[in-house]
Amino acid sequence: MKSWWIKTVDGAMALELRDIPIPQPGPGQVRIRIRAAALNRGEFIAGHGLHTASVARPAGFEASGEVTAVGEGVTRWKVGDRVMGRCDGAFAEHGLVTADEVFAMPERLTWEQAAASTVVFLTVYEALMAHGRLAPGEWMLVAGITSGVGVAALQVGKALGAHVIGTSGSLEKLERLKDLGLDLALHTRAADFVPAVMKATQNKGVDVVVNNVGGSVFDACVEAMGFQGRLAMVGYVDGQVQAPMDLNALHSKRLQLFGVSNKMRTTAHRVAAAQALERDLLPMLADGRVTPWVDQVFAFDDLPAAQLCMQANRHLGKLVVRVD
């Protein structure tokens, strides 16, 4: 079968198309015929995320497809089931998944939408629901709202009844998000948004912050938070992993800061998160309260072109590869 592999070459993420055997599921695993797989910035842009492997490895980690075989002990899935979820080596014709880390595809979703759902909505579930505890009527700030996580956070925030403020360096992308209910669009990449946030919230500050940008705006995010605010540190597309911390603000405003990452998670941690997502957020995908935002779909052989599109930051939401 065809399979894309990725490794770091001269500081950049390089892709290679290989022909490898079709994998066989082990105990607790399911094999799927992959129909679509989504790109994630942390994998495809060196220095922006988790993966900087100098040795080639299978590319991709979320997909949608049909079950073609099940391993020993798997009773939840059968051949022919349409599923979506975490899939290491997703940019391939076939892939193996842990049976407890995939979900039944909502009927209303396309293959492409389903492939683009798992990572962003797992991240948003933890940022806004599990740890952020976003409540109706509260204010939320999303720094870098035009990313895949940012667009998903906007949709879930509105579904939960919150007011949403978003920042982006692209005015055109912000305009497109107004149809999703964005309450205040701030056209900036800099840490200069605090006055506008305080004005919108009548100087109370926001209740929840999702920081997709990184260290360059961290201090401003803290300054924009209100009493007992919660901040989710999601990404650092600015490449800045260090930031100053106002301990007086942390202390006096009784703030809560937490990271959302899979770097140190075990399989048990991931399974628990998947079960929570299935219980609390998947119904929103099924009934249409939220819809995965797929900006562009590429052919399987055009994965390098999709990577270039991501590097140029021309997209809004998610980029997906169709596997025919």
pLDDT tens for residues 219-273? 999 999 999 999 999 998 898 999 999 999 999 999 999 999 988 999 999 999 9
**Residue 223: alpha-carbon gap to chain centroid:** 25
pLDDT at 52: 55
Residue 8 — very low, low, confident or very high, per pLDDT cuts 50/70/90?
confident
Alpha-carbon span 121 to 158, nearest angstrom: 14
* Mean pLDDT taken over the chain: 95
In terms of Cα–Cα distance, which of 270, 322, 266, 272 is closest to 299? 322
In terms of Cα–Cα distance, which of 175, 183, 176, 133 is closest to 158? 183
322: number of Cβ within 10 Å: 17
For the chain, the domains span 2-117+292-322, 121-259
pLDDT at 43: 87
What is this structure's pTM? 0.95
pLDDT tens across 34-73, in order?
999 999 988 887 555 445 567 899 999 999 999 999 999 9
- Between strands 2-9 and 12-19, the pairing is antiparallel
**Residue 99: alpha-carbon gap to chain centroid:** 21
Give the chain's count of helices (H) and strands (E).
Answer: 11, 16
Percent of the chain beyond pLDDT 70? Answer: 98
Tell me the three state secondary structure of residue 118: helix
46 class by beta-carbon count within 10 Å (0-12 exposed, 13-18 middle, 19+ buried)? middle
Give phi and psi for 21, each to the nearest 5.
-65, 150
Residue 22 — very low, low, confident or very high, per pLDDT cuts 50/70/90?
very high
User: Is 2-117+292-322 assigned to CATH 3.40.50.300?
Assistant: no
190: number of Cβ within 10 Å: 11
Two domains, one topology: 2-117+292-322 and 121-259? yes
Under 8 Å between Cβ of 69 and 103:
no
Alpha-carbon span 152 to 158, nearest angstrom: 10
Handedness of CA 152, 155, 159, 163 (dihedral sign): positive
Under 8 Å between Cβ of 144 and 237:
yes
Alpha-carbon span 242 to 249, nearest angstrom: 18
Instruction: Give me the mean pLDDT over the 158-178 stretch.
Output: 97
In terms of Cα–Cα distance, which of 91, 98, 97, 151 is closest to 124? 151
- 112 or 49, which is more confident: 112
Give phi and psi for 318, each to the nearest 5.
-110, 150
Alpha-carbon span 62 to 113, nearest angstrom: 11
Instruction: Give me the mean pLDDT over the 13-31 stretch.
Output: 96
pLDDT exceeds 80 at position 93: yes
Q: Which fold has domain 121-259?
A: Quinone Oxidoreductase; Chain A, domain 1 (3.90.180)
Alpha-carbon span 285 to 105, nearest angstrom: 9
pLDDT at 47: 53
In terms of Cα–Cα distance, which of 264, 307, 305, 269 is closest to 40? 307
HSE-up of 180 (CA within 13 Å, CB side)? 31
Tell me the three state secondary structure of residue 291: coil
